[in-house]
Structures are given as structure tokens and as C-alpha cells.
Chain A
Amino acid sequence: MKLGNIQWRIAALKNGFQDATAYRLEFLFEVLGAAFVPAAIQWVLWYALFKVGGATQIAGMTYEDMVAYTLVSILFTQVRGGDHDFELAEMIRGGGLSNYLLRPVGVVEFVYIRGVAPKIFIAGFCLVLGIAAMLLSKIFPSVAAATPNLTPLNLIYGMALAFFGNIIHYQVGATLATASFYWEEAYSLMMVKNMIVQLLSGELIPLNLFPESMQWIWKSTPFYLYVFGPTQIALGRWSTEEIWMQFGIAGLWMIGGWVLIRASWGLGIRRYLSLGG
């Protein structure tokens, strides 16, 4: 890679970070809101099932297991893909793509780098927070008992898989965005994708709560690699072989995503009329 190529990527990263944090209070609200409200709702569900309903185990998980899942999954929910695929769709629809076609940068990669910048910062912050919380949790025997395999190394592996998930999420979105070359309402495809991701990524509930007959649903999409997979790794619920297999699966999804982007953008750009704006 030429030095110039690195320079524009670093510049895009810097620009994306500055853009996201221009309004610091908003940025903070967004991060905190996105972390704690879904976590509170999850915790409430476990409270209702176990403490009010009197259940002792659900899908092989105790109340403490569920709470541990909820707390650790918050870290990875923050890293999962954002909405910058909508930006691509809008560029195509509104004609803004023309500006990028004249520049010596790949528009799909440029939009990703700008969008991922605040996520890198959040990922680092979450990692530090996770490790600090993990060390503190050892003070409380019940929490420590529910998270015996939560180690800094597992958290780092989990965060790495979450980042793979972030890339896959964008690849899926960037492919769907090319529907804008053909259809005015293509943004709706991304809205649908985001709704499905919410359920199948594991950010609402651990995916092993799905009944046996429905497990194939989440296993046949890459979405579980965003939150559920990283949380399983961090909590030490996957063996080393399983972890490497999941990284392999993530790698395959990324290759597939790359091929899809190349194909869909190659086809779509031929129909681009540069109208609107």
C-alpha cells in the first residue's frame, strides 16, 4: 500500500472521529443511552423470569448467567455496526455519489472508515471498562462465580470478533445500499436489516434461548457474530477450537461480503445517472 493511500485513510478516520464528537454531550448521551437502556430492559426480563416467576434455570442458564451475559454484551453492542450504510444509499439516491467518483478514493471504504472511527474509540473504552469491571467483580463472589472464565484475553478476543462483525454488518449494508441504483425506497431494506439484526445479534436476549427447532435461524446468518459470539468468547463459554472456528466463519462471511460488494456496485454503477442533489 502506498503512503498516500494510508494518508487518506488516516485523514478519513480523523475526520469521522471529529464529526462524531463535534457535539460531545450528544456523543456521550448516545453512547450511554444505547448501552444502559437495552441492558436495563434485558435485566428486567431476567428479573421477571427468575425473581418474580421463580424459575431457577432457563435454557441451561441461571439468573447470574443471564445478568453476566447482559453486562458483557453491552460492551459489544456498542461496537456493532452503525448506520453509515444509509449514507451510501442516500448518496446514490440523491446524486451525491458523483463527488466521490471524481476522487482517488473508494467510496464504500471511505464511508466505512469515517463511520468506524468513533466505534474504534468506543471499542477501546469498552475494553478498558470491561477489564476494570471484571477485576472489580471479583470482589463479589456471586458475580465471580457466574463469570469464572472472564479474562482480559477473552475480552480482547471477543472484541476482535465484534470488530469482524462490525465489518460484516457494513458489508451487508453496503450491498443492500446498491438497491438504490434501481429503487427509490432502498433505505427500507436497511431498516429491515437493522430490525432483524437487533433480534438475531443477541443484543436483546442470548440466542441459546431460541427453542431447538428455531436455532437454525440465527445460525444461518452472520448477525450472531456481532454480539452473541463475542459475549460467549468473553465469558469463556466457547472452547478454543470453537473460537477459531467462529473466526474462520467470520472470515468467510467477510470474503463473501467483499465479493457481494464488488458485484453489486459493479452492476449498479452502470445504472447511475447522477440525478438529484
Chain B
Amino acid sequence: MSSSKYARVFWVQLKNNFVREAVYRSNFLTMIVVDLIWIAVEFSLFTVIYSNTETLGGWSKPQTYFFLGIFFASDALFTTFFQRNFWNFSDLVNKGELDILLTKPIHPLFLALTRWFNLTAIFNFFLGLGILLRFSDAAGFQGGWKWLGLVGWLAVGLTTALLVRFAFSIWIFWTERSWAMARMYYQFFAFATKPDTIYPKMIRYLILTALPFAFIGSVPARALLQGLELSEYLRIAAVLSVFFVINWFLWNAGLKRYQSASS
């Protein structure tokens, strides 16, 4: 199937989700309020910390807020397009819902990851961009053509979240419940909410390689504010490639184990 057909299927799924969410308008408003509170809590934490110090791991207050803007925008993209699919991922295997996807003339993984959207979360994306814009000057961001780089870095953040979340979810083929793994993902995800330079060497190495949460917000913010060395670009490419290959292998191995155990 050609990529244009995939795009058409994606578009249809998007429209279906939009219609579904438009029915629940109060849910839309509620989730916006919840997200605003979450952002307020994150900001409050840093406000309290910066009331006691000028810099944190070499990051000034506006730079940290600039980082938060990228982090919120990047995370919002993941939440909008993929998060709900991962919450339903275990049902695909446990309830045998994968059967129906395997019979379609399109890659089952594509359908599994693009069935559900959370369009209300797109509000956070714009909020993140707003925060980014608000603190860009004070953070020392040069702007101009560098704004184009932001698009690429948001894509890197989204790809990272997708690959890592998948790596935590795929074990459902081997385990009975994926709840603990999902919870663990969100525990580790907390590492993404702070600039990577504040971490001691060992943890920093971990979040730049095996658990690359720093690629979601921190590394993009550093890249836009200070630029990265060539070795860092290469590392990002290598880590994401390795994750892709491992995920692909696990998906195929998982499919071989799948018993269509619907009840």
C-alpha cells in the first residue's frame, strides 16, 4: 500500500476522532483546565526552586521556562496523536482485538497506533509554543531561521516518546498485564521534566541513551539555545535507530506469540 493511502487512512481516523470528541464538549473544556493546572504545578515547582537560587545546573529561570515550553509542546503532540492508543494497547492482545487489525490490508501496527486521538491535548501544544515564545528573548534564543529548527526538534521529541513508550508497552505479548510497565514509563518520564544538565553523570548518560527522555525537551532546548556538537547529533540518530530496530524485532516476535485469545 502506498504512502498516500496511509495518509488517507490517517485522515479518516482523524476525522472520526474529531466527530467523537466534538460530541463531548464539556470533556474538552475539562481537560483543558486539568492540563492548565498541570502546567501551573510544573511552573510553581521551578518558581519555588528559583526563589532560592539564580541558576540550576547552568540554566537561568527564563531558559528553564523556555525548556518547559518545548517540553509541553512536544509532550502535547504525543498525547494528541498516540497516548490513547497505548492505553488501549493491552486490550489488543489480551482481548484479542488485534485479530481485526491483522485482517486489514494495511500494516496492523499503523492501525494500532493511529486509531485513537486525543484532540483536546492540541491546546497544550499551542500553550507550550506560547510559553516558548514568551521566554525566547529572555532565554537568549536568537530566533530567525532557528525557529525552523524547532519543527525538527519537536519531531525528534515526538519520535522519542513514541519509540520509548512502545518499548515499554510491547511486553504485553509476554506478560498478562501492562499496567506496571505503563506506570514505570511515567515514573521515568519524570526525568524528562528537568533540564538534562542538572543530572549527575550516570543518570544523564542513562537519559541520553537507554532511556532517552532528554530528547523530548531538554536536548531540543539546548540545541536551540546553545547548539549541539556533532557527536550529540550522531548519538541522537544512533539511539533512535537502535530503539526502532529493537521495537520492530519485538513486535514481530510478539506477533508470533500472539494467540488471538479473545474471550
Contacts and interface: CB of A to CB of B under 8 A. Distances in A.
A45 to B, nearest CB: 7
Contacts of B184: 29, 33
A133 interface: no
A191 to B, nearest CB: 5
- Mostly, the B contact residues are helix
- Mostly, the A contact residues are helix
Interface residues of B, number: 36
B105 interface: no
A1 interface: no
Interface stretch (A10-18, A136-144, A202-210, A269-277): A202-210
A263 interface: no
A180 to B, nearest CB: 13
Nearest to A186: B30
A4 interface: no
B55 interface: yes
A247 to B, nearest CB: 27
Nearest to A185: B30
Given A188-B34, A205-B49, A52 B198 contact: yes
A196 interface: yes
Nearest to B58: A52
A44 B48 contact: no
Interface string B28-67: 0011011001100100110011011101111000000000
Given A29-B183, A49-B56, A205 B48 contact: yes
Nearest to B36: A192
B38 to A, nearest CB: 6
A65 B181 CA distance: 33
Closest 10 CB pairs of A and B: A48-B198, A26-B180, A37-B187, A29-B180, A48-B57, A33-B187, A185-B30, A211-B51, A188-B30, A58-B52
Given A44-B203, A55-B52, 10 more contacts: A29-B180, A44-B199, A45-B49, A48-B56, A52-B198, A58-B52, A199-B45, A210-B51, A211-B48, A211-B51
Interface of A: 23, 25-26, 29-30, 33-34, 37-38, 40-41, 44-45, 47-49, 52-53, 55, 58-59, 183-185, 188, 191-192, 195-196, 198-199, 204-205, 209-211, 214
